[in-house]
Amino acid sequence: MPVNSALRPYPFAPFTGDLPADLLDMVVADPVSRVRLPDGRPAWLVLSYEHCCTVLADPRFSRLPPGATSAPGAAGPRELNMDGPAHAAVRRVAGRAFTARRISTFRPRVRRIVDGLVDAMLAGPRPADVVAGLVAPLPVFVVCDVLGVPAADRPRFYAWISGLNSVTAYGSDGAARAQAELRAYLAGQLTRKRAEPGDDLLSAWVHGQDAHELVDAELVELAMGVLLGGLEINSTSAGLRALFQHPEQLAKLRAAPEKLASATDEILRYTSVSAMFRVQVVREDLVLGGVAMRAGDCVMAVPWAGNRDPRQFPEPHVFDIDRTPTVPHLTFGFGPHFCLGTALGRMQVELSLGALLARMPGLAPAVPIDEIPWRHDRMNGGIEWFPVTW
Ligand code: HEM
């Protein structure tokens, strides 16, 4: 019998919105353990807050497959999904355009998009699917707006990006063709923005090109990274589910809408949209949490488990919109790859929930919460559809 098959398979059960109790117990009791991933690889499963931070931030854990190199030019254009200096060079350019000031100027634009989508839900039949009506389209509209994709090109653009996060389409001819067309389109847009700059990220990147050394092919990869990161925001539907499951918290939020920002942060900490996270590779022999790891071993830190570590978050399984944590939750990651779109992501969750609660005063689930289906065909997981009434 292969040694692998003796390992406990991870995830322990198909994910339907809650991390299983035995996994949550392991956050303290067994924070670094051995499991078998769905693709058959054995891996280290890392669950405590402290060790998740180490795996995500310590350069001894790599994002590249064993043997690959992130040296510039060695494997094509530099991109965000790399280690060390190659990643840092791309990240510096990206970060310059994602400033808090620039992102705050997007707030009225995001609010307008949210309002338009909620208007359409209100005008349509009841119950309505809040995923199809708001949660799915909003981040797509926002990321196109932020990147500066002209309105006339949007239908073509949506077709290209529709399979980008799909696990089932991954590697298919259709997906490869769509990605090639998308890259060619983005390269064309860079040329266009050079001549006619707008108030968007692509323009900001080409505009500053004499001040940084990224070539167009690398800016295209950066745009692909932003698209991949920003296309789906499943915390809004997961947050709505958590609020419906905790009516006293929902009532508190309805009575005090000024709590929306802290409620959003607690939603991001408390809810999980999948039990899986990125698989990394150990670069050199090391010891983590008293466990010896060998160079080349796979390791997966699960930030949603770290968010339930009682050493950082007292009574971690209590959902409390008034919580005032002393450390950041890990839902946006940690370390050099910490989410670039944090402010934009948080803004979308906050404005969506705010608009739903304000404009649909009787908002309620139209089916029992445990009948709401979760998707298993995407890299990000998330609720597939969520009928609500008001
Ligand atoms: C609530 C919404 C969001 C959540 C929970 C989220 C979560 C994350 C996480 C966990 C990472 C780190 C992954 C890793 O360690 O490899 C990440 C990275 C990233 N996110 Fe987000 N994200 C959100 C919204 C957005 C948005 C709206 C954008 C852009 C428009 C975005 C762009 C990115 C990019 C570009 C990275 C890669 C950063 C790097 O590798 O240096 N994200 N995000």
pLDDT bin (cut points 50, 70, 90) of residue 160 is confident
Residues with CB under 6 A from ligand 1: 56, 80, 91, 143, 146, 225-226, 229-230, 233, 235, 278, 331-333, 337, 339-341, 344-345, 349
Q: Does the pLDDT of residue 46 top 50, yes or no? A: yes
DSSP three-state, residue 390: coil
Strand 286-288 with 42-46, pairing: unpaired
CA of 112 to the centre of ligand 1 (A): 23
Nearest to 34 by CA among 241, 294, 283: 294
Q: Residue 148: is its pLDDT beyond 60?
A: yes
Give the Å distance between the CA of 362 and the centre of ligand 1: 33
Starting from the edge strand earliest in sequence, which strands make up the sheet with 61-62, in order? 8-9, 32-36, 42-46, 298-301, 279-282, 61-62
Q: Top-level CATH class of 3-136+232-389? A: mainly alpha
**pLDDT at residue 289 greater than cutoff 90:** yes
- CA distances to 4, 18, 107 from 8, in Å: 9, 19, 45
Burial class, 59, CB count within 10 angstroms (exposed 0-12 / middle 13-18 / buried 19+)? exposed
pLDDT surpasses 80 at 48: yes
Q: Where are the domains of the chain?
A: 3-136+232-389
Alpha-carbon distance 125 to 387, whole Å? Answer: 11
Q: Which two tokens stand for residue 134?
A: 């708001």
For residue 346, which atom of ligand 1 is closest to its CA? 1
Is the pLDDT at 164 greater than 90? The verdict is no
Count of helices and strands (H, E) across the chain: 16, 11
Q: What is the pLDDT of residue 166?
A: 64
For ligand 1, the distance from its centroid to the CA atom of residue 287, given in whole angstroms, is 28
The pLDDT confidence band at residue 102, using thresholds 50, 70 and 90, is: confident
SS3 content of the chain, % helix, strand, coil (to 5): 50, 10, 40
Please name the residue whose Cα sits nearest to atom 18 of ligand 1: 339
Single-letter code of the amino acid located at 300 = M
Q: What is the mean pLDDT of the chain?
A: 92
Q: Which of 64, 82, 339 to mutate to test the pocket of ligand 1 (most atoms within 8 A of CB)?
A: 339
pLDDT at 72: 46
Distance 340 CA to ligand 1 centre (A): 6
Is the predicted pLDDT of residue 379 greater than 80, yes or no?
A: no
| Those residues with Cβ within 8 angstroms of residue 379's Cβ, 6 or more apart along the chain or in another chain | 165, 166, 167
Atom of ligand 1 nearest to the CA of 233: 2
Q: What are phi and psi of 33, to 5 degrees?
A: -135, 175
List phi, psi (to 5°) of 383: -80, 135
Q: Which atom of ligand 1 is nearest to the CA of 139?
A: 27
Q: What is the pLDDT of residues 305-336, one digit of tens each?
A: 999 999 999 999 999 999 999 999 999 999 99
Say what the pLDDT of residue 70 is. 54
Ligand 1: nearest atom to the Cα of 278: 16
Residue 167 pLDDT greater than 70, yes or no? no
Question: What are the tens digits of pLDDT across the range 57-77?
Answer: 999 999 986 666 655 445 578
